[in-house]
Structure 1
Amino acid sequence: MIRIFLFCTTIALALGACTSLPTGPDTAVNLTSQLQKVAQVQKWQMRGKIAFRQGKEAASLNLVWKNDSGNFEFRLANFLGVSMVDLNVDASQSVLEADGNTYIDAEPEPLIYQITGMIIPVNSLLSWVKGLPLRDDTYTLTEKGLVNTLKSQCALCRNWRVSYGNYGSVETSNGESVWLPHNITLTQPETSETPKTQLKIKIYEWTLQ
């Protein structure tokens, strides 16, 4: 296992703090139209940082995530740009490369946990990271009509709580625009088996296809 990079990297956090983020719409949006547009976004790339904390362990890493209708590449790198984890997922398998080794599993989440110790709900995040609740999720809205918080309800979603901030207008491939979050915090309450887990994702750039 390469859990050795689960440590506080204050330099990486400080670097991220200098980037300005959008402040959201000036007027209220139509929620139905917004969620429809978000659901149609199936090809995207994001660049940013992800900070992980579980109990006394913590890490901050650069993140590049490319998604094409559920097939995706998820890359974590340190603040020098050196790749720590490279995860490629398609309908048949999940392949993770780390520390010169290759690991294969049917699902991505067990691979990430096995190798890094990080609990990342990547399948649910494909929707959550866009500000799109899953079918059974409960959620609240901001005063401008965008998703503010959500609570996972599906049997395999581990009671995650998600909060959003800094929505920005991003151009879609057909020339329209959609509001996407640039700050996301995921929290999983403490259980008898695991301590409280928190993921903070700061997105500097969205690219839609």
Structure 2
Amino acid sequence: MSLSISAIFHQTNLLLFTLFTLVLSGCSTIPKTDSQALIEQTPQQRVIKLQQLQQWKIKGKIAFIEKKSRNSATLSWQVDERQNSQLLNLTSYLGINVLQLDSTDNNHKIQVDGKTYHGSDLETLIYSITGLTLPTKALTFWLKGLPYQKDDKIDYQEKTQLPLNLSSYYANELWQVSYANYQQINGYNLATKFSIRKDNLLIKIVVNDWAIADK
């Protein structure tokens, strides 16, 4: 029997949402980072370093929170900026594949509930299939703490000089990104907790694993 997308990518019940909230509040496998382990860099030095990071993969949890709906899933996202390709998988807590994305250039293929969809505008395609707003293009920059547009505004932590908040008018809408729990990973200072806001939408991401290949 086939499940609908709304059934697979569940409207999270109170128990599952409470469990995910605990993960977001610190009950995850991510150790708290000692700031002494981070590399001391100016914001300019950090940007230059991170511009070299073009092949990476994250694994963790993602939640989409709105007034009338709360959806959550396990996240696996692999990006190769050199080849302009990516693989994105969202999986339910029951291990059911919610969404599987394979992109090369502007050719996007999404598999959901046994069906395959194609399109050239990824964010529109994701929304039309799932009803979810996911700014994938900008997120490939924001997750690294980099501005997507020249006029993006970044506030830095006074002590570490790492991004604390980012504001961006993306697709003519104001997005705000908050960063926490930085780790040093192969010479890069990367956040592992993100809160991404637009209007009444809050996207929370917890990264359990950053894997990078920048050579």
Q: Does 1:142 align with 2:154?
A: no
Assess, with a 3 A threshold, how the Cα gap between structure 1 residues 95 and 55 changes in structure 2: closer, same or farther.
same
Q: State the 1:15 CA deviation.
A: 7.5
Does the 8 Å contact 2:194/2:204 carry over to 1?
Answer: yes
Task: Tell me, in whole angstroms, the C-alpha distance in 2 between the residues paired with 1:20 and 1:92.
Answer: 34
- Counting matched residue pairs gives 197
Partner of 2:78: 66
Superimposed CA distance per residue, residues 131-150 of structure 1 (whole angstroms, 9 cap, x where no aligned partner) = 11122201100121001101
Q: Which ranges of structure 2 fall in alignment gaps of 5 or more residues?
A: none
1:80 aligns with 2:80: no
Of 163, 166, 169, the match for 2:181: 166
Counterpart in the other structure of 1:48: 60
Distance in 2 of aligned mates of 1:24 and 1:107 = 40
Deviation of 1:55 after TM superposition, in Å, equals 2.2
Q: Which of the numbers 2, 7, 20 marks the counterpart of 1:13?
A: 20
Distance 2:33 2:155 in 1: 18
Q: Is the 8 A contact 2:193 2:206 kept in 1?
A: yes
Within 5 Å, which residues of 2 pair with 1:102-117? 102-117=116-131
Q: TM-score, normalised by structure 1?
A: 0.87
Name segments (4+ residues, structure 1) moved above 4 Å. Answer: none
3-state SS of 1:126 partner: helix
2:106–2:121 contact (8 Å) kept in structure 1: no
Match of 1:174? none
How far apart in 1 are the matches of 2:172 and 2:141?
12
Q: 8 Å contact 1:149–1:162 — kept in the other structure?
A: yes
**Cα deviation, residue 34, structure 1:** 1.1
C-alpha separation in 2, matches of 1:58 and 1:108: 22
Q: Distance in 1 between matches of 2:182 and 2:172?
A: 24
* Structure 2 residue 138 is matched with structure 1 residue 131: no
1:199: which partner in 2?
203
TM-score, scaled relative to structure 2: 0.85
Superposition RMSD on alpha carbons, in Å?
1.9
Cα offset for 1:160?
0.7
CA distance in 2, matches of 1:68, 1:83: 22
Report how far residue 67 of structure 1 moved: 0.3
Q: Secondary structure at the match of 1:181?
A: strand
